[in-house]
Structure 1
Amino acid sequence: MKNNPIISLFLVFFFTIICQAQEKKVAPTSSELFNEIEKMDAVVFDAFNTQNMPVFKAYFSEDLEWFQDNGGLLNYETVFKNFDTMFHKEYKLTRTLVKGTLEVHPIKDYGAIEIGSHQFRHIENGKEEIGTFKFLMIWEKKDGKWRISRVISYDH
């Protein structure tokens, strides 16, 4: 069978369209959004580190869903009951963002995704305990205010 130039042209055109359709179309993260989420992360975890429950709690939406690899799905009430218990422990737990791990991605008409690694530290039985874990947080911007609506905590 001879090569038909019309069929060849059609195939080239068809495969070009398919390849373009499969291109990754990711919304770019502006430096403004990155800086805003980086600042919000610092504010939220400053409240955590100082155990300021009213300020800390205000940065989470009431429809919060918190997924933890070793704890399952937790709702808003359970999450803050657990934090309240933690804040009353003898030792003080602190969190720091691991430098260079922060990623921020926009969510159209909603907010942003924050991904990174963080370390938690505390002294227990005279010894410093340090754990490094991964997280993903979904931030919602509503009425000019940022709140965390979803958390995925993993790699424990």
Structure 2
Amino acid sequence: MKIIYILFILFTTNATAQVATSSELFKTLKSNDSLLFDVAFNRCDPSPLHLLIREDLEFYHDQGGIQHSKKEFMEVMKKNICGSPDFVSRRELVAGSLKVFPLYDNGTLYGAIQMGSHRFFESRNGAMETPGSTALFTHLWLLNEGHWQLARVLSYDHKAP
């Protein structure tokens, strides 16, 4: 319920809390986005996920349902995204769409909301890559002992090309 409240506050307030793209927070979370998608998703290398994702991850997808843990998420990645050499999916962040909003508790940074748009491309049986869906995403990152970990994911508004 807290995530819904946080997102409600975020969407109903002025966006001036967004950090600059030159800030350390923005750069760090953009780098994490790259590890999640360019490495884990696009190359099917799950190694960065072990450190970047919390055990209690919740992933809400408007077409694929809910995953209630890191374990479930990893199984879906292995089975659906990286499970067949006959189907390859690639994700691309839409340039300029990434936004980061810091979260504070009495002046202490404890988390951040990262939002953006991404598009997907698909290739079947070695054929040329074709456009897949575009979608929006919202990630809740929590700072844990100096390390950013993905706690909640909303993947929504998927649209066909």
TM-score by length of 2: 0.74
Matched length:
134
Unaligned runs of 5+ in 1: 1-22
CA deviations over 1:103-146 (Å, ceiling 9, x no partner):
10001132110000111112126352422111000111111111
Residue 32 of structure 1 and its aligned partner are, at CA, apart by 2.0
Alpha-carbon separation, structure 1, partners of 2:15 and 2:137 = 24
More strand by share: 2
Unaligned runs of 5+ in 2: 1-12
Partner of 2:76: 82
Paired residue type of 1:63: D
Give % identity. Answer: 32
Partner of 2:48: 55
Q: Which has the larger radius of gyration?
A: 1
Specify which of 125, 146, 149 is matched with residue 147 of structure 1: 149
Alpha-carbon separation, structure 1, partners of 2:134 and 2:121 = 9
Residue 58 of structure 1 and its aligned partner are, at CA, apart by 2.8
Query: Segments of 4+ in structure 1 off by > 6 A?
Result: none
Contact 1:47 1:56 in 2 (8 A): no
Residue 55 of structure 1 and its aligned partner are, at CA, apart by 2.1
Residue 25 of structure 1 and its aligned partner are, at CA, apart by 9.2
Q: CA RMSD in A?
A: 2.1
Alpha-carbon separation, structure 2, partners of 1:148 and 1:99 = 21
Task: Note closer, same or farther for the CA distance 1:25–1:92 as it changes in structure 2 (3 Å cut).
Answer: closer
Alpha-carbon separation, structure 2, partners of 1:131 and 1:25 = 27
- Determine helix, strand or coil for the equivalent of 1:35: helix
Specify which of 20, 25, 29 is matched with residue 19 of structure 2: 29
Paired residue type of 1:121: F
Contact 2:88 2:124 in 1 (8 A): no
Task: Note closer, same or farther for the CA distance 1:50–1:62 as it changes in structure 2 (3 Å cut).
Answer: same
Query: Does 2:36 align with 1:44?
Result: yes
Alpha-carbon separation, structure 2, partners of 1:149 and 1:99 = 24
Paired residue type of 2:113: I
Paired residue type of 1:88: G
More helix by share: 1
Partner of 1:99: 95
TM-score by length of 1: 0.76
